Chain A
Amino acid sequence: MLLSVLVYGFINSVILAMVALGFSITFGISRVANFSHGGFYILGGIFTWYGLIKLGMPYFLSAGLSIIIIGALGALMYKVILIRLRGLELSEVIATLSLGIVILELLRGLGVFGYEFRNPVFMDGSVDILGVGVGIQRIIIVCAGALLLILLHFFVHHTKMGLAFRGVAQQEHTALSVGINPDLVSMLSLAMGSVMCALSAVLILPLGVISVDEGYDILIKALAVCIIGGLESTLGVLVAAFIIGYIEVLTSMYISSALTSVVPLACMLGILLVRPSGIFGKSKEIEERV
């Protein structure tokens, strides 16, 4: 039992972290809370499905194309919509939220419901880890998640582009004065977040089905993880994902599977009560700029 909790908790946590990472990266760099995250996620899945099942493309091609399309969509969203609303937090939230709803409900209206919308797993079969049977897809997810994190860390800390990203994240105006175009960086950050989102969709969706309601669920999960971890902190997201991931599995294993979605949210409220800015977030309480 304990070993299974360990293994499945870990997998669950990695899945949560991947889902939340796209949201947190975009917010961390450009301060845009992309509420169309869930919409992009499902759209990424459905594009892959369409290419794979309907057009008969190879898996990697269809997945790659859909990731690129979603990335472009993120950039486009910034270029067309968000650039007019920069700095107006509430308007950004409303605009992205409504775009997300448009995407999701449009898919629903076009007939994305039922049992056929399902991406096959990359590789069938299962292996035993610590004596617990685990499907290979889940192991692929964990590996891909780890790889993604390493790449991300390298990108942010060891490339010029990453430096520009960090610059804009810290002080937009100063970044502007040293020749970084914050609009470009913000656009790229949205593209990057969207790519991350589509990537996680491609990896994770074979475990489930592509359904519109899943899109809303993913958004809520991503938000919960980010809020607990502190919206802009990648480390925080990771830690929060592991906290929620293990709490979910423990709840489901020892208390009641029905409460799996309630307990993490309750934890979130509890954490907010103690630390309003999340575990690793910078304090957002009343204070002066130092």
Chain B
Amino acid sequence: MEYLKIENLRKTFGGVVAVDNISFEVEQGALLGIIGPNGSGKTTTVNLITGFLTPDSGKVMFKGRDIAGLRASKITNLGIGRTFQMVKPFYRLPAFKNLVVPLFSPRVKRMGGHYGEKDTLALDILEDIGFERDSAVPYKPASILPHGYLKRLEMARVIALQSELIVFDELYSGLTLAEVASISPMIEKLIEAGKTIIMVEHRLKELFKIAHRVMVLDQGKKIAEGSPREIMKQPSVKKAYLGVEL
């Protein structure tokens, strides 16, 4: 039984085919990178998998069950967590209270393993992810936190949810090199802990360092898949990215 298997996924928006019959598989514990130029359907694919969009046709098999078309919250509770490209914190709540919301989810209740006050727990998670516990940062409203922290907050949410399959949607965008360098080890740590990860990314250099496999999308179609090394050599990838054949 495959862990995650996507079959002939298709989604159109008023005549524009955003995702065109994409199929791929992800093994448990693997890190799949999805790359492609702007408008190639990466984020749509993520939305289709995580239930934020309903596919026109096709299947999303997760642990042998077709989850295509289920509500996003339901899919989240099945163990697929995601982050957003545009950060989506709860601006009016303090940073640590942002994590209280996922801690209310049925999944966390069912999984158990978390004891004690939600606040303490939230602070623990934030500390792990790089919020200095003794500073005022975790207590500040999310509206005044800098971008880097908000990205971490996104990550913290999927950690709080104890998701087993995590989909990062352009996690690295807008981050400095130093910030990327501090986040990458955390992703490796997640892999070590047995999580499966799908990363949609533009920053190829950083992605290729940690990805096991990479899939390339162009205009809604899958044009290549393979190990990072193979992908780098593919001429069609270069064409898709740079618009010239080399």
Which residues of A approach B to under 8 Å, CB–CB?
282, 286-290
Please, which residues of chain B bring their CB within 8 A of the CB of A290? 13, 18, 43-44
Task: Give 9 A-B contacts (CB < 8 Å), ordered by A residue.
Answer: A287-B47, A287-B52, A288-B43, A288-B44, A288-B52, A289-B86, A290-B13, A290-B18, A290-B44
Contact mask B68-89 → A, CB, 8 Å, 1/0?
0000100000000000111000
Q: Is B53 an interface residue (CB 8 A)?
A: yes
Chain B residues packing against A (C-beta within 8 Å): 13-14, 18, 43-44, 47, 52-53, 72, 84-86
Name which residue of chain A comes closest to B19, CB basis.
A290
- Bound CA–CA A229/B43 (angstroms): 29
Other A-B contacts than A286-B72, A290-B18, 14 sampled, CB-CB below 8 A, are A282-B14, A286-B52, A287-B52, A287-B53, A288-B43, A288-B44, A288-B47, A288-B52, A288-B84, A288-B85, A289-B86, A290-B13, A290-B43, A290-B44
Whole-angstrom distance between the alpha carbons of A286 and B73 in the complex?
12
Q: Is the interface of A mostly helix, strand, loop or mixed?
A: loop
Cβ of A286: which chain B residues have Cβ within 8 Å of it?
52, 72
A282 to B14, CA, bound (A): 9
A90 to chain B, nearest CB (A): 16
Q: In the complex, which residues of chain B have a beta carbon less than 8 angstroms from the beta carbon of A288?
A: 43-44, 47, 52-53, 84-85
Instruction: Identify the closest chain A residue to B47 (Cβ).
Output: A288
CB-CB < 8 A to B44: which residues of A? 288, 290
Residues from chain A with a CB closer than 8 A to the CB of B84 are 288
- Give the Cβ gap from B28 to chain A, nearest Cβ, in Å: 26
Q: List A contacts of B85 (CB < 8 A).
A: 288
- Residue on A nearest B51 in the bound complex, by CB: A286
Specify which chain B residues have a CB less than 8 angstroms from the CB of A289 in the assembled complex.
Answer: 86
Of B47, B84, B86, chain A has the most CB atoms within 10 Å of the CB of: B47
Report A-chain residues with C-beta under 8 Å of the C-beta of B13: 290
Shortest distance from the beta carbon of B85 to any chain A beta carbon, whole Å: 8
Tell me the minimal C-beta distance from A79 to chain B in angstroms: 31
Min Cβ gap B10→A in Å is 14
With A and B bound together, what is the CA distance between A55 and B52 in angstroms? 61
Alpha-carbon distance between A36 and B84 when the two chains are bound, in angstroms: 38
The answer for the CA separation of A202 and B26 in the assembled complex, in Å, is: 65
Residue of A nearest to B71 (CB): A286
Residue of A nearest to B16 (CB): A290
What distance in Å separates the Cβ of A30 from its nearest Cβ neighbour in chain B?
Answer: 22
Question: Least Cβ distance of A234 to chain B in Å?
Answer: 16
Task: Give the distance to chain B from A218, nearest Cβ to Cβ, in Å.
Answer: 32
- Tell me the smallest distance from the CB of B94 to a CB of chain A, in Å: 24
Chain A residues with Cβ under 8 A from B14's Cβ? 282
Chain A residues near B72: list those with CB within 8 A.
286
Question: How far is A287 from B55 in the complex, measured between Cα atoms in Å?
Answer: 12
